[in-house]
């Protein structure tokens, strides 16, 4: 009976051992359990530590020895060592034999040391990789910083180079006039250097463009058989070639600049022809450079028109940023020197003309005689030299805008330049046109087709026509009165009446324009003001910058005229003072209106239908054209105001007139362009998106 109970208890202990540890001790060894503990005692002992709560077993070979069961983490450590065949019996055997226990602990130590070294090597390798990455990033940062420094240095050097050229271009012609010991036209070699340098730069840019196009076409033809590679390659080439062009100035500004360029080439052609009449006269000190320089200037004018206004979208100046910086600054200095040269030359012509009337031979070294070409130059220069000055001014400002857009060849600069190009394209309100028809409605827009809506403009148009007619009649009367062939006293009376007649017409124009500008400001005030910004900063834009620069000429002429009329005791000085005061007020108000109305847009459909202020803007466009005609035909001559010639002196008033009036003429011309852009763009209600079928629905 006792034997059966012992066997039963042994079976129960085996089952519990199997349930607890998953298997019995290896090698078929039997284990016997101590006598069972009562359930109450088990409950009390459950609060003890896990080491105490584990049951103890007796080994069959040595019943007096208590053997603890094998632990789970020991099995896991054995499996981690790769010896899955070891069981609890091996641990029991190790506990029985000290040598095996020492070997087991040594194996544990070796594995722990190996694990430590592996962790150490891993940390060192990660640290070395991290250090290499930091070093590469630091090298990239140093390289980028060096490129930015080199970029800033080239910018400074190019600006200093242009400043030196401008100072030389101002010093040489003035020295020729001031000093009687200087041979005439001694500086023609300097201007020839300016013209040839600009021509070489333009040729270099077009040569690089032709080279890039040839390389891209050759690569396309080479990869035309490999479809997959050529598709990717053609996409990259198309992305480079079909970049968004940056438009500098509106379409009408470029059109006017081309017209001024034609006038400049006519002026240069007359100078070229005059050489062949003067070369036989030894007194005129004529040499071959007097023919080569005007001919080179004509070539440069033609190439510059092509480079800036026609094909600027094809030339990528950012790829050769060092050459482009110095080349563009050379062209800017060339245009400014050309401006100063024409200014000094025309002042010299008029002063020599005044001195010839008074039989003064102080400047006898200058000879302008000539049977055909000499007389043509002398008679046509008052009308042609403003064209050269205005053309040089427009080209210099546009080239300066191009110079500012050049950035170093880095990723950040490319992103910034592309963004600025987009902003520049958006900022200009020109280039609104129809979409080309496409079968699937692609947003392909043509910049060569324009749609002009002339609604709400007919009243201003007919009022402006009346103003133009009045201005033309007054100018005809002025030229008739000034050409009256009579005695000296009688002729002076006619000249005085002609001056008063022009001043009355000017006063009427200024008063009507002031009233129109104020009314247009009031009517366009409720419209939405949306000004574009670039890099968080708002800029005036190219057209507005040109307008503000040209306004300086109006200020100079008005201020000197007001001062001269105030201190003059002539009977008609009061009329001149009032006219110039109203001219100054009209100029200020119109500039404010243009700078504000440039960014005005319709807020809703009601404003788009009524178009508030459009008739007034139409009238301002035509009235500025009338003022431009008066300035070109009458006021650009110093002898228009004989009282100012007496007050300031012939030299001083001639210089003041020739400095200020070309800018004043350009101000009236460019005001017409800016007002037309407002007339065209401000009264359109643009949707947030465009559909190619929208103009046809």
- Residue 443 clears pLDDT 60, i.e. is over it: no
Here the tokens at position 248 are 């500098």
- Residue 199 clears pLDDT 90, i.e. is over it: yes
- Residue 222 clears pLDDT 60, i.e. is over it: yes
CA distance 685 to 666: 31
Sequence-distant (6+) residues with CB within 8 A of 36 are: 9
Q: Which has more confidence, 142 or 27?
A: 142
Here the tokens at position 575 are 């009329």
Q: What pairs with residue 33 in β-bridges?
A: 57
pLDDT of residue 282: 64
pLDDT tens for each residue of 635-675: 888 888 888 888 888 888 988 998 899 899 999 999 999 99
Q: Which has more confidence, 223 or 231?
A: 223
> How far, in Å, are 113, 122, 124, 140, 165 from residue 127 at the CA level?
21, 8, 5, 20, 57
CA distance 68 to 53: 11
DSSP structure string for 410-435: SHHHHHHHHHHHHHHHHHS-----PB
Per-residue pLDDT, averaged over 262-274, amounts to 86
Q: Note whether 524 and 613 are within 8 A (CB).
A: yes
Q: At what angle do helices 614-630 and 573-597 cross, to 10 degrees?
A: 140
Task: Name the range with the highest mean pLDDT among 454-458, 511-515, 596-600.
Answer: 511-515
pLDDT of residue 228: 46
pLDDT of residue 650: 84
Per-residue pLDDT, averaged over 487-504, amounts to 84
Neighbours of 313 (CB within 10 A): 12
Q: Which has more confidence, 298 or 33?
A: 298
Domain ranges of the chain: 2-102, 149-428, 459-533+544-697
- Residue 624 clears pLDDT 50, i.e. is over it: yes
Sequence-distant (6+) residues with CB within 8 A of 675 are: 594, 617, 620, 621, 624
pLDDT of residue 610: 83
Sequence-distant (6+) residues with CB within 8 A of 138 are: none
Apex CA 503: angle with CA 497 and CA 509, to 5°? 145
Per-residue pLDDT, averaged over 229-242, amounts to 50
pLDDT of residue 7: 66
Per-residue pLDDT, averaged over 277-290, amounts to 72
Per-residue pLDDT, averaged over 333-358, amounts to 82
- Residue 445 clears pLDDT 80, i.e. is over it: no
Q: Note whether 392 and 336 are within 8 A (CB).
A: yes
pLDDT of residue 352: 74
Per-residue pLDDT, averaged over 415-434, amounts to 41
pLDDT of residue 401: 84
Q: Which has more confidence, 198 or 438?
A: 198
pLDDT of residue 512: 95
Per-residue pLDDT, averaged over 278-289, amounts to 71
Q: State if pTM tops 0.75.
A: no
Per-residue pLDDT, averaged over 615-625, amounts to 92
Apex CA 109: angle with CA 105 and CA 112, to 5°? 135
Q: Which has more confidence, 161 or 438?
A: 161
CA distance 35 to 66: 13
Buried b (16+ CB within 10 A) or exposed e, 359-376: eeeeeeebbbebeebbeb
Give the chain's mean pLDDT. 74
């Amino acid at each position: 009976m006792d034997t059966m109970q012992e066997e039963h208890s042994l079976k129960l202990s085996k089952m519990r051992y199997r349930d607890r540890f998953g298997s019995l001790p290896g090698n078929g060894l039997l284990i016997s359990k101590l006598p069972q503990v009562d359930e109450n005692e088990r409950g009390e002992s459950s609060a003890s530590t896990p080491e105490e709560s584990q049951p103890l077993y007796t080994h069959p070979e040595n019943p007096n020895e208590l053997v603890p069961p094998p632990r789970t983490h020991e099995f896991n450590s054995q499996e981690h060592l790769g010896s899955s065949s070891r069981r609890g019996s091996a641990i029991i055997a190790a506990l029985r034999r000290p040598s095996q226990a020492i070997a087991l602990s040594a194996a544990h130590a070796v594995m722990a040391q190996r694990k430590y070294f592996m962790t150490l090597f891993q940390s060192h390798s990660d640290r070395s990789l991290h250090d290499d990455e930091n070093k590469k990033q630091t090298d990239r940062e140093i390289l980028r910083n060096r490129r930015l420094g080199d970029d800033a240095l080239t910018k400074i050097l190019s600006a200093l180079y242009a400043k030196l050229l401008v100072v030389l271009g101002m010093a040489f012609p003035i020295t020729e006039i001031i000093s009687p010991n200087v041979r005439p036209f001694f500086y023609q070699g300097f201007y020839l250097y300016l013209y040839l340098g600009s021509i070489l730069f333009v040729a270099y840019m077009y040569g690089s463009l032709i080279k890039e196009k040839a390389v891209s076409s050759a690569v396309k033809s080479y990869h035309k058989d490999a479809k997959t590679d050529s598709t990717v390659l053609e996409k990259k080439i198309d992305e480079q070639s079909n970049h968004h062009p940056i438009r500098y100035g509106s379409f009408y500004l470029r059109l006017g600049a081309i017209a001024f360029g034609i006038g400049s080439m006519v002026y240069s052609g007359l100078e070229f022809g005059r050489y062949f009449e003067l070369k036989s006269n030894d007194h005129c000190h004529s040499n071959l450079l007097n023919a080569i320089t005007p001919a080179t200037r004509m070539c440069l004018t033609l190439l510059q028109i092509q480079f800036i206004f026609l094909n600027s979208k094809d030339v990528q100046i950012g790829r050769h940023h060092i050459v482009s910086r110095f080349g563009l600054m050379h062209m800017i200095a060339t245009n400014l020197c050309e401006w100063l040269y024409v200014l000094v030359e025309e002042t010299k012509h008029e002063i020599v003309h005044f001195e010839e009337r008074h039989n003064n031979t102080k400047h006898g070294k200058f000879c302008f005689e000539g049977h055909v070409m000499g007389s043509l130059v002398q008679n046509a220069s008052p009308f042609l030299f403003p064209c050269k000055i205005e053309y040089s001014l427009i080209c210099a400002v546009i080239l300066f805008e191009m110079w500012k857009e050049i950035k170093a060849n880095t990723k950040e600069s490319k992103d910034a330049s592309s963004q600025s190009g987009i902003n520049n394209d958006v900022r200009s309100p020109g280039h609104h046109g129809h979409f080309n028809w496409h079968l699937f409605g692609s947003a392909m827009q043509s910049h060569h087709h324009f749609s002009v809506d002339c609604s709400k403009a007919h009243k201003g148009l007919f009022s402006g026509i009346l103003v133009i007619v009045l201005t033309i009649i007054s100018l005809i009367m002025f030229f008739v009165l000034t050409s009256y062939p009579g005695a000296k006293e009688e002729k002076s009376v006619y000249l005085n009446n002609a001056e008063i007649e022009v001043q009355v017409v000017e006063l009427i124009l200024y008063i009507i324009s002031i009233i129109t500008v104020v009314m247009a400001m009031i009517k366009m005030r409720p419209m939405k003001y949306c000004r574009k910004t670039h890099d968080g900063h708002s800029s005036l834009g190219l057209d507005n910058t040109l307008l503000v620069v040209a306004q300086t000429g109006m200020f100079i002429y008005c201020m000197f005229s007001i001062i001269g009329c105030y201190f003059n005791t002539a009977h008609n000085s009061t009329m001149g003072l009032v006219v110039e005061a109203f001219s100054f007020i009209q100029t200020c108000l119109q500039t404010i209106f243009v700078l504000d109305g440039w960014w005005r847009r319709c807020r809703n459909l009601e404003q788009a239908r009524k178009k508030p202020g459009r008739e007034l803007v139409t009238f301002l466009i035509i009235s500025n054209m009338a003022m431009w005609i008066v300035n070109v035909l009458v006021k650009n001559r110093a002898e228009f105001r004989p009282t100012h010639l007496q007050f300031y002196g012939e030299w001083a008033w001639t210089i003041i007139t020739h400095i200020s009036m070309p800018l004043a003429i350009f101000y009236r011309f460019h005001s017409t362009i800016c007002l037309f852009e407002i007339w065209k763009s401000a009264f359109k209600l643009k949707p947030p998106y465009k559909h190619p079928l929208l103009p046809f629905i």
